[in-house]
Amino acid sequence: MDGEEVHLIPVPKGHTDGDTLVQFVSNNILMTGDFFRSVGYPNIDRANGGNLKGILEALRITISLCDAKTKVIPGHGLPVDREAVVAQRDLIIAVRDKVAALVVQGKSINEVIAAKPTADFDASTENAAGSSARFIRGLYAELSDKP
């Protein structure tokens, strides 16, 4: 594309069932689409084929293609570096583990939201208030097999 080598890399169903990572090789840029966002919490769109395992694998692939100078263009938010993608992956795992423990305890979705499993990240997550409950609901649905 305009002399640039561009790779379209299919990634597992993460945000939706059509996620694709776009790599601009010469410019060291990765464009993630909505499976990674630099604002708010992740959006695992289960209604359109997305799932937790897929989003974690898509992030793993993205991280593996980054070096210290890679620019990552998210589906939402400003461009970031590799460390921001690593931080997002780690956030997802930490919140997933908290939600999973609450699911095992038999907590309802309202009880899980009230427990604030994202609290450790809310201060450093732009638009946390607007996306925290959505993220928790998605995790709860996957981990409990309840819609």
d(CA 48, CA 30): 23
Distance of CA 116 to the CA centre of its chain: 18
Domain ranges of the chain: 6-144
CA 111 to chain centre: 23
The CATH superfamily assigned to 6-144 is Ribonuclease Z/Hydroxyacylglutathione hydrolase-like (3.60.15.10)
Residue by residue, DSSP assigns 34-51 as: EEEESSSS----GGGB--
The model carries a pTM of 0.92
pLDDT tens-place string over residues 109-132: 999 999 999 999 998 888 787 789
Tokens 């208030």 correspond to: 129
Separation CA 110–CA 62 (nearest Å): 33
pLDDT, tens digit (0-9, with 9 covering 90-100), for 13-57: 888 788 899 999 999 999 999 999 999 999 988 888 889 999 999
CA 129 – CA 131 distance, rounded (Å): 6
